[in-house]
Structure 1
Amino acid sequence: MRTFLLMLLFTPLLFARPAQAAENKDIRQTGFVYCVNGVIKTFNPQLSSGGVIVDTVAAQIYDRLLGVDPYTYRLVPELAKSWEVSHNGTTYIFHLRHDVSFQTTPWFTPTRQMDADDVVFSFERIFNRKSPWHNVNGGHYPYFDSLQYANAVKSIRKLDRYTVEIQLEKPDASFLWHIATHYAPILSAEYAAKLALEGRKEQLDFKPVGTGPFQLQHYQPGQFIRLQRNPSYWKGKPRMETVVIDLSAGGTGRLSKLLTGECDVLAYPAASQLSILRDDPRLRLTLRPGMNIAYLAFNTSKAPLNQPDVRQALALAINNQRLIDSIYYGTAETAASILPRASWAFDNSAHVTPYDPDKAKKDLQALGIKNLHLSLWVPSASQAWNPSPLKTAQLIQSDLARVGVQVTIHLLEGRFQEARLMETNHDLTLSGWATDSNDPDSFLRPLLSCDAISSQTNLAHWCDPRFDALLQKAVRSQQLATRIEDYDQAQQILSSQLPILPLASSLRLQAYRYDIHGLVLSPFGNASFAGVYRDSDKENP
């Protein structure tokens, strides 16, 4: 039923793919092609737990109240030109810009500019379970559900046309960082009201309307998204008229498209392809540290993985350095914590789990573990944190076989892979996390809190009240030193319990044609394409 509904909602956006040569000629005259492997389930990042919508599309269609500077890692104004925090961190007042227009699309023409009604609507939908929009298209907001903000937000109200107040039940030092993520776009309340009158509420998340630099023109499922310039963009008209996000090819297919000019930008190239990219004078390569982590999650709800000693023994069997050498080719560092080393709360005393297969084998024997068969579930698409998930899984499979543990790999594909990852009949999950927030809470609570199990972001199904209490204590303090101490203790619990094994923190890679300029590669992922332009004189250096 859900598949049918998605197809029905997306149908008006479909169109037959034109001849490739004609398509390329058109794009090279008016815009560029961005190639990334991914699956689209919704155009609203509120409903997503990651992937191409959050990592790529959201920054083009939508804006947020606040942003994060990709160079200073500081909060910066976006749709809110300023903000105030009072009452010991429980009251937040946002002063909105007066000059922001929503996009005019074939399905909606706005009659007013963005104001407080839109901000209240956008956050009420997520945080207020009584909102008539909360349960539309499932009522699941994975990122904010994992943080339990439906319980944490006391009220959201309009003070005047351009001022909004949000009150929390308790102080939360991480709140501004969470609403600066792309999971918190500002939607049009006027568009929502129109859909409600027409009895078509579901279309809010599939025919998007935002204030961003580009708006949706066409979508071909599994093939591409075509965006067109928003001429009324409040920061100024974007330099490119058209952007095509090509979803159709993975692995070497995307590299071939870049080399032949079918792609202008290649997101997340495989590290094994770096030598090819560096040696081609028609291409440029950008690398930056990334706020991401690749990890192996143990399903702690199943025996024998519910035993920390078993998890520790299995971790000793995994040759992490070989993963770094074979998967990342020097573009990542072995992870010692679930927090990337760039995080201000990273525990400097944390150490990488050593590779000791002999000890792993002895420990498993001492625990009475024999003839262990495990299933390892692996998403198929390359990610910001792992360019080659299947190859990583095969290396882990080989490592565990050396200590007598048989692993069967199950490759997950398609739009329902997130739901399958939260089923309880698997043993191991290879996954990762990236965020456009510099607050450690955006890693720890979504991935490992008790509440994140029901929000389907805690793939380990792990719950420790001591750990959760430390996270809650940390966000209630406005003192950085206090928060760091709490996060140190939380990381020590993770090290001893090991519900997930951190594997690598990867550099962000992006390859692009020599004539493309203005790309911003952010450590937090999503970046606007508004400043991208093509210099035809530099196409063939």
Structure 2
Amino acid sequence: MHKLIRLAPLLLLLGATTALARNNSLVVCTEASPEGFDIVQYTAATTADASAETVFDRLVQFAPSSTRLQPGLAESWSISPDGLVYEFQLRKGVTFHSTSWFTPSRELNADDVLWSFQRQLDPAHPWHTLSPRGFPYAESMAFAQLIERIEKLDDHRVRFTLKHPEAPFLADLAMGFTSIYSAEYADQLLKAGKPEQLNREPVGTGPFVFERYRKDAQIRFRANTHYWAGKPAIDRLLFAITPDPNVRVQQLKAGACQIAVYPRPTDIDALRQDPALQVLELDSLLVAYVGINTRHPPLDDVRVRQAINLAFDTRAYLRAQYGEGNASIAVAPYPASMLGFNDKLNPWPHDPEKARQLLAEAGHKDGFKLSIWTRPGGGPTNPNPGIGAQMLQADLAAIGIKADIRVYEWGELIKRAKNGEHDLVFMGWAGDNGDPDNFLTPNLSCAAAKSGENQAGWCNPAFDGLIREARAISDTTRRAELYRKALAIFHEQAPWITLAHPKQFAAVRKGVDGFQLNPMGSNNFARVKVNP
């Protein structure tokens, strides 16, 4: 019975894919539905894949499979010696997408850049209050407090003036939340009283034009034939939304999709044995963790948080979730390869006796109750959510903490966690720009606690001061010293259970060329070719 239920959608997708294959199309089996298409409201990698990496562009961008910056919508830029003024020369001849709901009357210009940023930064902007989710990156990274002003110098020149130097600022401008929108399209929607359409029917300058979306089923795009960087090699792109990693593998093997992202690490060895497939592997900038909601007593007590870290057998968790050699144990919010990693820190040992002692000292000798939140399906930072939650539940029970497991669809999980409804929540993060600040400020700063993006709700003034100081200087030696101090505070205060730094995998059918894994976790298909 269960096999027939699974087989029916597989056959339907296979039939649709066969037709698409004849039309130079690419089908990607992906892990989850996007939260929406207005990328400035969201932080999930699946949302970035469906919007920032397809529909939109930014002033600067990362070179493929790299953290190296290169020109995007800005063909060149200059930075003042004091690091406060950035001037960008925009490309000429860049056009926004023409769709059934919008036809642009002009090319991209400086007005679009100003609209895209001021919407997020200026409370008086007519669109500022129209974002139901707010602007999580801009808020948690305190962009409104960083940027003094943005000026249009002429139709193709824009100047940013900062209030203080910000070492990762240029790399920040390659992140999804700085995508450039059409001010003309936004004006059209506002006049029509349909601002919500911006999140449902996106318009950008990117390599693919959005066509339609069926929630929890598929997203369809067509190639942007007027793309400034050259038309993509494929004519159509389809995301087949497939939360179950087993089904993703079935669809890939059956030819229902040509790329399956985020296969379970424990399936990698078997996938490598299939002659029709190629497995791609990359040491990515990923961290898996459990956020401990410090706003909920008794989790506001550092002894309780330390006890929870001591109770959980993270080494057993890594073996069960990732298999041998597919992830390294996490000690800090970012991998050891990055600037300022503190190599004096050690993973929390599995020590239930010490955990019970700390609980007793905190006045909880008989334990207490809490909830563990996770998602269905699985992705690179949480390959098997059910097993992981059950392992944590069992280890907490061993020290007297009774935990119930609650499973929410990905978008609902993120929304509720932002509201602070959880006690413990399994989460993951992919670095967006290759800088340590991108792991710390969006996830652990006081500003991020205020916006809700900091799932731990943790605001430590000493930690916050260190990462703010590190952002404001360019001296890498000094920055590294500040980050090492900040990581020591993080480790001692234990607002997370840091779990793993997983490797990133994708399985690709033979005949698909040009797809590269991105160390920052997102997926771009503009350079992919499908050979008949």
Q: What CA distance in whole angstroms lies between the structure 1 residues aligned with 2:300 and 2:417?
A: 17
In structure 1, which of residues 28, 32, 35 is the aligned counterpart of residue 29 of structure 2?
35
| Superimposed CA distance per residue, residues 238-297 of structure 1 (whole angstroms, 9 cap, x where no aligned partner) | 110111101144221111111111121111101121122111111110010111111111
Indicate if the aligned counterparts of 1:143 and 1:455 stay in contact, CA closer than 8 A.
no
| Superimposed CA distance per residue, residues 298-321 of structure 1 (whole angstroms, 9 cap, x where no aligned partner) | 111222211112211221111111
Amino acid at match of 1:353: W
1:394-433 to 2 correspondences below 5 Å: 394-413=390-409, 415-433=411-429
Counterpart residue number, 1:183: 177
Indicate if the aligned counterparts of 2:45 and 2:521 stay in contact, CA closer than 8 A.
no
Q: What CA distance in whole angstroms lies between the structure 1 residues aligned with 2:422 and 2:58?
A: 37
| Superimposed CA distance per residue, residues 100-144 of structure 1 (whole angstroms, 9 cap, x where no aligned partner) | 221111111222221211111111111112111112232601111
Counterpart residue number, 1:26: 19
Counterpart residue number, 2:338: 343
Shift of 1:22: 4.0
Q: What CA distance in whole angstroms lies between the structure 2 residues aligned with 1:104 and 1:406?
A: 55
Aligned pair 1:289/2:283, yes or no?
A: yes
Counterpart residue number, 2:304: 310
Amino acid at match of 2:503: L
Shift of 1:231: 0.3
Aligned pair 1:390/2:383, yes or no?
A: no
Indicate if the aligned counterparts of 1:313 and 1:360 stay in contact, CA closer than 8 A.
yes
Q: What CA distance in whole angstroms lies between the structure 1 residues aligned with 2:494 and 2:125?
A: 39
Counterpart residue number, 1:434: 430
Aligned pair 1:498/2:491, yes or no?
A: no
Counterpart residue number, 1:8: none
The answer to which of 340-349 and 206-215 deviates more is: 340-349
Counterpart residue number, 2:528: 532
TM-score normalised to the size of structure 2?
A: 0.94
The answer to which of 453-462 and 340-349 deviates more is: 340-349
Indicate if the aligned counterparts of 2:359 and 2:367 stay in contact, CA closer than 8 A.
no
1:346-385 to 2 correspondences below 5 Å: 346-369=341-364, 370-385=366-381
SS of aligned partner of 2:53: helix
Shift of 1:497: 0.7
Shift of 1:430: 1.2
Q: What CA distance in whole angstroms lies between the structure 1 residues aligned with 2:262 and 2:385?
A: 12
SS of aligned partner of 1:339: coil
SS of aligned partner of 1:157: strand
Q: Provide the aligned length of Structure 1 versus Structure 2.
A: 520
Indicate if the aligned counterparts of 1:338 and 1:502 stay in contact, CA closer than 8 A.
yes
Q: 1:384 to 1:167 in 2, by over 3 A?
A: farther
Aligned pair 1:228/2:217, yes or no?
A: no
Indicate if the aligned counterparts of 2:374 and 2:413 stay in contact, CA closer than 8 A.
no
Aligned pair 1:246/2:230, yes or no?
A: no
Counterpart residue number, 1:11: none
The answer to which of 415-424 and 496-505 deviates more is: 415-424
Shift of 1:414: 5.4
1:10-25 to 2 correspondences below 5 Å: 20-25=13-18
Indicate if the aligned counterparts of 1:338 and 1:443 stay in contact, CA closer than 8 A.
yes
SS of aligned partner of 1:531: coil
Amino acid at match of 2:332: S
SS of aligned partner of 2:298: coil
1:44-63 to 2 correspondences below 5 Å: 44-63=38-57
SS of aligned partner of 2:54: helix
Q: What RMSD, in angstroms, separates the aligned Cα atoms of the two structures?
A: 1.9
Q: What CA distance in whole angstroms lies between the structure 1 residues aligned with 2:200 and 2:284?
A: 30
Counterpart residue number, 2:210: 216
| Superimposed CA distance per residue, residues 391-412 of structure 1 (whole angstroms, 9 cap, x where no aligned partner) | 2111111222222322211111
Amino acid at match of 2:358: D
Amino acid at match of 2:16: E
Q: What CA distance in whole angstroms lies between the structure 2 residues aligned with 1:301 and 1:121?
A: 36
In structure 2, which of residues 135, 141, 159 is the aligned counterpart of residue 141 of structure 1?
135
Indicate if the aligned counterparts of 1:89 and 1:478 stay in contact, CA closer than 8 A.
no
| Superimposed CA distance per residue, residues 203-227 of structure 1 (whole angstroms, 9 cap, x where no aligned partner) | 2222111111111112111110011
TM-score normalised to the size of structure 1?
A: 0.92
Q: What CA distance in whole angstroms lies between the structure 2 residues aligned with 1:75 and 1:38?
A: 28
Q: 1:59 to 1:424 in 2, by over 3 A?
A: closer
Q: What CA distance in whole angstroms lies between the structure 2 residues aligned with 1:72 and 1:431?
A: 24
Gaps of 5+ in 1: 1-16, 537-541
Shift of 1:55: 4.0
Q: What CA distance in whole angstroms lies between the structure 1 residues aligned with 2:14 and 2:384?
A: 30
Amino acid at match of 1:158: K
Gaps of 5+ in 2: 1-9
Counterpart residue number, 1:327: 321
Amino acid at match of 2:396: L
Q: What CA distance in whole angstroms lies between the structure 1 residues aligned with 2:426 and 2:269?
A: 27
Q: What CA distance in whole angstroms lies between the structure 2 residues aligned with 1:424 and 1:194?
A: 36
Q: What CA distance in whole angstroms lies between the structure 2 residues aligned with 1:71 and 1:36?
A: 19
Q: What CA distance in whole angstroms lies between the structure 2 residues aligned with 1:127 and 1:472?
A: 19
In structure 2, which of residues 287, 293, 300 is the aligned counterpart of residue 299 of structure 1?
293
Counterpart residue number, 2:4: none
Paired-residue identity, %? 34
Aligned pair 1:513/2:509, yes or no?
A: yes
Q: What CA distance in whole angstroms lies between the structure 2 residues aligned with 1:248 and 1:82?
A: 40
| Superimposed CA distance per residue, residues 405-430 of structure 1 (whole angstroms, 9 cap, x where no aligned partner) | 22211111153322211344532111
Q: What CA distance in whole angstroms lies between the structure 2 residues aligned with 1:132 and 1:430?
A: 36
| Superimposed CA distance per residue, residues 443-473 of structure 1 (whole angstroms, 9 cap, x where no aligned partner) | 1011111111232211111111111111111
